[in-house]
């Protein structure tokens, strides 16, 4: 089963939102500290857009989330998609 761009954007957006909420940081604060607009962050968290790798990196650094956490998530997604073939 091939993962669509839209589905991947939703999974990444959910991950960012979960990390932000776990740290009890508002969208406004995260957007400001990451140097992006509130609207942009909202679109990322809701899976409406595919964020760049650099922007994802900046969000993770701003949230103080180890970058390897997102790669662990992506690896798990890849393994699940391979098993469904």
Per-residue pLDDT tens digits for 34-66: 999 999 999 999 999 999 999 999 999 999 999
Q: How far apart are CA 65 and CA 19, in angstroms?
A: 8
Rounded mean pLDDT, 5-18: 91
- Helix pair 53-63, 27-34: axis angle to 10 deg: 120
Global confidence as pTM: 0.84
CATH class of 5-83: mainly alpha
CA 61 to chain centre: 12
pLDDT(85) > 80: no
% of the chain beyond a pLDDT of 90:
67
pLDDT of residue 38: 98
């Amino acid at each position: 089963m091939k993962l669509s761009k839209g589905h991947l954007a939703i999974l990444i957006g959910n991950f960012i939102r979960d990390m932000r909420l776990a740290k009890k940081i508002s969208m406004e604060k995260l957007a400001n500290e990451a140097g992006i607009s509130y609207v942009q962050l909202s679109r990322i968290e809701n899976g409406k857009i595919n964020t760049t790798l650099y922007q994802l990196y900046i969000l993770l650094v701003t949230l103080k989330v180890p970058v390897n956490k997102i790669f662990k998530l992506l690896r798990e997604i890849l393994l699940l998609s391979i098993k469904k073939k």
